[in-house]
Homo-oligomer: A and B are copies of this chain.
Amino acid sequence: MDGHGETAEQPPWYAGPQTFLRAPLVGFDAIRPGTTVISGAPHSLRSRFGERGGPRGIREGSLALAERLGNARREGFVDVSTGKRLFLPSKTRLVDVGDLNVYPSDVMRTTEGIAGGVAEVVRRGGFSVCLGGDHYVGYPSCLGYTRGLSERAPHARVGYIHIDGHLDFADTSGSYGKYNNGTNARRISELPAVVPSSMVFIGIQGPCFLEQVESLRRLGATIFTSEDVEVLGPAEVGRRAGDLAIKGCDHIYISFDIDVIDAGFFDGTGSVTMGAMTAQTLFKILEPLSRYPIGSMDFVETAPPLDPSGRSPLLATQALLKILTPRIFEVE
């Protein structure tokens, strides 16, 4: 509890504690089945400096939106296009467990720190949303997800959707070795619960490493390039990806790299892509996708220190909410 406890009104965005959307900061034991659980994994090694600042920055950036949501608690929202109404439930469906254990000079210990935290969330029935950090975080997060899931459902099979400008499917990345943000999807493909033929990559852009593309084809995975999105239409890509990922699987894990959009529209990210999709297009992919049985997710590569305009974390929050909305709101 903080000093704002006495007032029924929302504090201004620049006051009060910095949890995601002002969700309660709790320990693992407060997680109930179905709760959406935010955690942070401030790890980055490769790319440009800055992804370590992701979890902290996104939480702070989410407060401008939280200021608005605070009022919606009473009034509710409406989507003027569809007429659908959104209400914040009286009992919160969203909590924040803070940052998981990271060790700047020890990648494998960091891997266990993140995986252990996510596994604990999933074991208790939570929907885990792990905020990176660079895209390597996707691997320990998915590792933790499959560990936690295996305790609740030992035979559950998991499909995988990789939203990103890049494949991240190298077996090893030059001097960075086997555990970094160029190998995360490869490491995930090696997890026992993950079904390689249900791995779907959306938004891939530019020339790709030949070896990675051929390995994915051998595994039966699917790639939707930026150009495919333009040809098929984003909503159709969202639906096809969902169908392919859930096929033969019980749940989908989503690994969401914000650099899937053109870096011209997003300052604060490490791996810059030019000529990629717009936010408008991305949102049309996410809309149908958010209705599939997603089990857990990560949200990576937001690098607030690289964006002196300060917009990136506010934009990142809006992108993440496109997936979280059905989970944290009541929709009529």
Contacts and interface: CB of A to CB of B under 8 A. Distances in A.
A174 B80 contact: no
Given A1-B27, A52-B49, A80 B204 contact: yes
Contact of A45 (B4, B104, B267, B314): B104
B1 A15 contact: no
Contacts of A98: 1-4, 16-17
A76 interface: yes
Contacts of A60: 56
B275 A99 contact: no
A14 B56 contact: yes
B225 A174 contact: no
A292 interface: no
A4 to B, nearest CB: 6
Contact of A101 (B7, B105, B207, B262): B7
Given A3-B117, A210-B77, A272-B315, A99 B46 contact: no
A191 interface: no
Interface string A33-68: 000000110100111111011011000100010010
B50 A210 contact: no
A284 to B, nearest CB: 9
A277 to B, nearest CB: 8
A261 to B, nearest CB: 8
A221 to B, nearest CB: 12
Contacts of A268: 309
Max chain B C-beta neighbours (<10 A), residue from A2, A52, A77, A223? A2
A252 interface: no
B265 A265 contact: yes
A75 B211 contact: yes
Interface of A: 1-7, 9-18, 25-28, 39-40, 42, 45-50, 52-53, 55-56, 60, 64, 67, 70-72, 75-81, 85-86, 97-107, 113, 116-117, 170, 173-177, 179-180, 204, 206-211, 213-214, 223, 225, 227-228, 261-268, 271-276, 278-280, 282-283, 305-311, 314-315, 318-319
6 contacts: A49-B305, A56-B60, A85-B210, A103-B175, A263-B314, A264-B278
Given A2-B27, A3-B40, 17 more contacts: A2-B98, A3-B97, A4-B98, A13-B48, A64-B271, A67-B174, A75-B210, A75-B211, A86-B207, A103-B175, A103-B176, A104-B176, A264-B264, A264-B278, A265-B265, A274-B314, A274-B318
